[in-house]
């Protein structure tokens, strides 16, 4: 199908890192089923490095491909680098997405950040709220 | 295996249709408006095609206008009724929540011009009733427009009953018969239909050509101004090859309605049975009052587009809702009108068969869908939550 690049189709047909990590150090879930996309990312973290990552996605072809690509881009990387991951980088790595599907790459970026935030929260690590979009209600901001 | 199961989107042209078109591209290519014999040969063919199509619908040739397809015919019918109504101070229209966008968007445009539109509920079976139409008609109603059969879920409406109600109330009745023409018996007189739209490419005819039937006495409102073609109501040189192809395809389809229907209903019912045996799935629309080739099922926990892409990999051309809405992120307005929650409506699959499909193909489709649904559920966090009991299944 010409709707998607070959890269997108490859990651959709053969998604990397699908699955669950039991007792993950950080879990992030973004999106909602009503809108047709949910992404869940599981992180295994050792010494501030993402040693393993898995994802589960409910969504269209580009949502699955974006999750797959995002996990590949952060696997083995220090957390600080994972936090630098942008939706633009995911889109570029996939050789582009149709305009109406860009939000899938945004979800992938948010899912990674949300999983890191969960790791920080679980471990009482202080962080700068500005790193995360949806932290309006987080503890740190109320200081 | 390569299986085309998206005949509600469009069909393969029949041999008869192609052969009927060819001479009008190479030999009889005159303009029907020309006085010379080349033109008059084309004019004769045009008039003969009009007669044949009229005969199949049970109307007279003068009541047939050729259009660019179903959307144009729908627009012209609705705008005509609105203009007629406006002159008498009648600015209310009755329709349904699950019409094709060619109707719904035309109605939205009229709402901006001060018309009021009542959209009837389609219930959980996808069928409106004549009583509800009667109840919705007001003294200022100028039009009732209800589709003959729905394009996504295939449910067939009680058109003759609705026609009788409209005739009794003296309100114009239009039906979008794009999915029904050539598949179901239609008689515009018996069914009290005042205006009807059809499109050739849904019954193995060419794309870009359709018909608007308008009962004698209805003064059509032009959408396209120009020459005197189509009794001055639709300007532009007639697309003779397409019209000839449509007439041939329509004749062929109408001749085979009974035989095709018998064959298709059997395939359809087997497909429905096979797909609905997948856990947490549901058939959309009434099981019996539906088009012979239409199957539409929702699967909980997955999203339709990824299902379609993986089916395409397995050689199956299918659709999720209406092809016209792909690219939009919202789930089908038809499934929402049916009462399906958003998260279920996202997981829909429409398979629309034609008489060329086989039992073997149907079995292959059932197996392929089963595999793909299970694969996608395996990577879906929604499915995990449902299976683990964290969330409750919507589809039992």
pTM: 0.93
User: Which residue in B299, B305, B385 has the most chain A C-beta atoms within 10 A of its own C-beta, making it the best mutation to test that interface?
Assistant: B305
Q: For residues B380-387, give the mean pLDDT.
A: 96
Q: For residues B192-217, give the mean pLDDT.
A: 98
Tell me the shortest Cα–Cα distance from A12 to chain B, in angstroms. Answer: 8
User: In this structure, are residues B248 and B17 in contact, taking their beta carbons and an 8 Å threshold?
Assistant: yes
pLDDT in tens, A1-32: 578 999 999 999 999 999 999 999 999 999 98
- Distance, CA of B394 to CA of B339 (rounded, Å): 12
pLDDT surpasses 70 at B48 = yes
- Chain B residue whose CA is closest to A13: B310
- What is the pLDDT at residue B321? 64
Residues with Cβ within 8 Å of residue A23, at least 6 apart in sequence = none
Q: Name the DSSP class of B137.
A: -
Strand-pair category, B294-299 with A49-58: unpaired
**Token pair belonging to B140:** 């200022």
pLDDT in tens, B254-295: 999 999 999 999 999 999 999 999 999 999 999 999 999 999
Q: Is the CB of A34 less than 8 angstroms away from the CB of B384?
A: no
- Chain B residue whose CA is closest to A104: B329
Q: Is B382 on the interface with A (CB under 8 A)?
A: yes
- What is the pLDDT at residue B193? 98
- Distance, CA of B172 to CA of B193 (rounded, Å): 8
**Band of pLDDT at residue B374, cut at 50, 70 and 90:** very high
Q: Which helix (H) or strand (E) holds B134?
A: helix B130-136
Q: Is the CB of A56 less than 8 angstroms away from the CB of B305?
A: no
Residues with Cβ within 8 Å of residue A8, at least 6 apart in sequence = A61, A62, A65, A94, A95, A97
- Chain B residue whose CA is closest to A2: B309
User: In this structure, are residues A44 and A24 in contact, taking their beta carbons and an 8 Å threshold?
Assistant: yes
Residues of A with a catalytic annotation lie at 35, 104
- What is the pLDDT at residue A32? 85
**Block means of pLDDT (10 residues each) for chain A, length 143 residues?**
88 97 97 88 97 96 96 98 96 94 94 97 89 54 37
Q: Is A64 on the interface with B (CB under 8 A)?
A: yes
- What is the pLDDT at residue A85? 96
């Amino acid at each position: 199908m010409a709707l998607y690049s070959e890269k997108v189709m490859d990651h959709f047909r053969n998604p990397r890192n699908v699955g669950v990590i039991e007792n993950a150090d950080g879990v992030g879930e973004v999106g909602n089923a009503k809108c047709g996309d949910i992404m869940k990312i599981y992180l295994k973290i050792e010494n501030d490095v993402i040693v393993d990552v898995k994802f589960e996605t409910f969504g269209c072809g580009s949502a699955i491909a974006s999750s797959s690509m995002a996990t590949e881009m952060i696997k083995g990387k220090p957390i600080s680098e994972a936090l630098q991951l942008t939706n633009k980088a995911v889109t570029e790595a996939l050789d582009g997405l149709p305009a109406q599907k860009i939000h899938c790459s945004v979800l992938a970026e948010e899912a990674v950040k949300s999983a890191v935030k969960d790791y920080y929260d679980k471990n009482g690590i202080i962080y700068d709220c500005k790193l995360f979009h949806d932290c309006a209600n987080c503890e740190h901001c109320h200081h | 295996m390569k299986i085309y199961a998206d005949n509600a989107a469009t069909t393969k042209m029949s041999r008869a249709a192609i052969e009927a078109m060819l001479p009008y591209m190479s030999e009889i290519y005159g303009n029907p408006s020309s006085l010379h014999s080349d033109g008059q040969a084309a004019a004769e063919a045009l008039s003969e095609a009009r007669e044949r199509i009229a005969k199949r619908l049970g109307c007279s040739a003068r009541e047939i206008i050729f259009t660019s397809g179903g959307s144009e015919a729908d627009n012209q019918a609705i705008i005509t009724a609105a203009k007629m109504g406006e002159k008498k101070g009648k600015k209310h229209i009755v329709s349904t929540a699950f019409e094709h966008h060619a109707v719904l968007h035309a109605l939205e445009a009229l709402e901006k011009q001060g018309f009021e539109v009542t959209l009837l509920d389609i219930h959980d079976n996808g069928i409106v009733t004549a009583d509800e139409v009667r109840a919705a008609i007001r003294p200022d109603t100028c039009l009732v427009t209800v589709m003959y059969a729905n394009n996504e879920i295939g449910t067939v409406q009680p058109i003759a009953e609705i026609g009788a109600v409209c005739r009794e109330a003296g309100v114009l009745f239009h039906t979008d018969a794009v999915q029904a023409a050539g598949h179901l018996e239609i008689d515009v007189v018996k069914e009290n239909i005042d205006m009807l739209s059809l499109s050739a490419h849904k019954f193995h005819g060419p794309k870009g050509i359709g018909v608007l039937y308008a009962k004698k006495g209805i003064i059509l409102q032009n959408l396209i101004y120009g020459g005197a073609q189509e009794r001055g109501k639709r300007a532009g040189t007639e697309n003779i090859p397409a019209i000839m192809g449509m007439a041939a395809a329509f004749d062929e389809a109408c001749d085979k309605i009974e035989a095709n229907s018998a064959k298709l209903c059997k395939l359809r019912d087997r497909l429905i049975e096979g797909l609905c045996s997948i856990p947490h799935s549901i058939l959309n629309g009434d099981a019996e009052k539906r088009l012979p080739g239409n199957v539409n099922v929702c699967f909980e926990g997955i999203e339709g587009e990824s299902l379609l892409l993986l089916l395409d990999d397995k050689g199956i051309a299918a659709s999720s809702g209406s092809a016209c809405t792909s690219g939009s992120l919202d789930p089908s307005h038809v499934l929402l009108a049916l009462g399906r929650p958003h998260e279920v409506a996202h997981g829909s699959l429409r398979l629309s068969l034609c008489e060329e499909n086989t039992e073997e193909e149907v079995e292959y489709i059932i197996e392929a869908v089963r595999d793909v649904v299970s694969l996608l559920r395996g990577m879906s966090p929604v499915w995990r939550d449902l299976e683990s009991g964290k969330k409750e299944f919507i589809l039992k």
